[in-house]
Amino acid sequence: MQEKLQAIETEALEELRSAKSLAEVDGIRVKYLGKKGSLTEILKGMKDVSPEEKPIIGQLANKVKENINNELDIAIEAMKVKEYEAKLASEFIDVTLPGRKPILGKKHPLTQITDEMVSIFRGMGFQVAEGPEVEIDYYNFDALNMPEHHPARDERDSMYITDGMLLRTETSAVQIRVMERQKPPVRVIVPGKVYRRDDDLRHSPMFQQVEGLIVDENIRFSDLKGVLVSFIQQMFGKNTKYRFMPDFFPFTEPSAQVHIGCAVCNGNGCKTCSGTGWLEILGSGSVDPEVFKAVGYDPEKYTGFAFGMGIERVAMLRYGIDNIRLFYDNDLRFLQQF
Which amino acid is present at 261? Answer: G
* Within a domain: 60: yes
Q: Is residue 199 scored above 70 in pLDDT?
A: no
Rounded CA-CA distance 246/274 in Å is 19
- Considering the domain architecture, whether residues 52 and 18 belong to the same structural domain is answered as yes
8 Å CB contact between 304 and 323: no
* Within a domain: 42: yes
* Residue 6, pLDDT score: 79
The residue range of the domain holding 238 is 109-335
Rounded CA-CA distance 165/145 in Å is 17
Q: Is residue 117 scored above 80 in pLDDT?
A: yes
Which amino acid is present at 158? Answer: S
- Considering the domain architecture, whether residues 147 and 211 belong to the same structural domain is answered as yes
- Considering the domain architecture, whether residues 137 and 256 belong to the same structural domain is answered as yes
Rounded CA-CA distance 109/195 in Å is 20
Q: Is residue 138 scored above 80 in pLDDT?
A: yes
- Residue of 38 and 156 predicted with greater confidence: 38
Q: Is residue 61 scored above 90 in pLDDT?
A: no
pLDDT band at 63 (very low <50, low <70, confident <90, very high): confident
* Within a domain: 14: yes
The 10s digit of each residue's pLDDT in 258-296 is 999 877 777 788 877 788 888 888 999 999 999 999 999
Total domains in the fold of the chain? 2
* Within a domain: 330: yes
CATH of the domain at 244: 3.30.930.10
- Considering the domain architecture, whether residues 291 and 223 belong to the same structural domain is answered as yes
Q: Is residue 109 scored above 80 in pLDDT?
A: yes
Q: What mean pLDDT comes out for the span 146-161? A: 75
Closest alpha carbon to 276 in 262, 257, 264, 291: 262
- Considering the domain architecture, whether residues 118 and 169 belong to the same structural domain is answered as yes
